[in-house]
Amino acid sequence: MDWLDIHTHRPEAEAGVVSVYNQLITEPEQSGRGHRWRSVGIHPWYLEPPRLAEQLAWVERSAQRPEVIAGGECGLDRLRGPALAEQVTAFQAQARLAEEVGKPLIVHVVRAFDELLQLHRQTKPSQPWLLHGMNVRFERIRPLVEAGCYVSLGAALLRADSAASRLITQLPPERFLLETDDQPLAIRTIYEAAAGHLCLSPEQVRKRVAQNADIFVFGKRNFTTLP
């Protein structure tokens, strides 16, 4: 069984790793060709409201490809990007598309957890949402976790005093995944850090993450052994 990286921007695949490459809307089609799986969406930093229809058309076309196993990352960011109302419009469209194509959604959220929870309640998605790169207090995302969202953690786990290092010990064990995001780290390093916080072996964490990913992405099919 390979190690799983649920969200990465690294263009080259890591040996012995099953990764989900996040293709940004600003990248050429051939980006990340070495990865088996990918996700596509309009990241709020690259959202251009005057071109929203064009950007959504690209996402809709891309979402039909078999190697695209998730939407996103898309989401809400109060610190960067266009006005929050415009981000909400783009997010709602991508959440609807995820439902239409039957694929989960990888979510970028910065200081907009209340708004995201409201959108989750309005959408009532049948496809799960993943809050990626979380480094916040559990209480901040508890309502979203209780609503069915998954949580992905990354390089912040390497810092013993980070919010993520405490968060991973508070999350339901069936709801967390691990990622490298844009960091130049081996995913095995993230697993080792997670294992230390959970008082488990890296192999135990690998099995748990694989089980969680099977359900998050494919329901009950085996994520790491699909062609």
Residue 111, domain member (yes or no): yes
The CA distance from 193 to 199, in Å, is: 10
DSSP category for residue 155: G
Q: What are phi and psi of 110, to 5 degrees?
A: -130, 115
- Structural domain including 81 reads 3-218
pTM of the model: 0.95
- What pLDDT is stored for residue 159 in this prediction? 98
pLDDT surpasses 50 at 147: yes
Q: What is the CATH number of the domain that holds 205?
A: 3.20.20.140
Least confident of 24-28, 94-98, 147-151: 24-28
* Tens-place pLDDT, residues 103-133: 999 999 999 999 999 999 999 999 999 999 9
Q: What are phi and psi of 173, to 5 degrees?
A: -60, -20
Of the chain, the percentage scoring pLDDT greater than 70 comes to 96
Residue 227, domain member (yes or no): no
Residue 225, domain member (yes or no): no
Residue 84, domain member (yes or no): yes
Residue 48, domain member (yes or no): yes
Tell me the residue type at 133. Answer: G
DSSP letters, 36-92, are: SEEEE---GGG--GGGHHHHHHHHHHHHTSTTEEEEEEEEEESSSSS-HHHHHHHHH
* Tens-place pLDDT, residues 52-92: 999 999 999 999 999 999 999 999 999 999 999 999 999 99
Residue 224, domain member (yes or no): no
| Total domains in the fold of the chain | 1
Of the chain, the percentage scoring pLDDT greater than 90 comes to 88
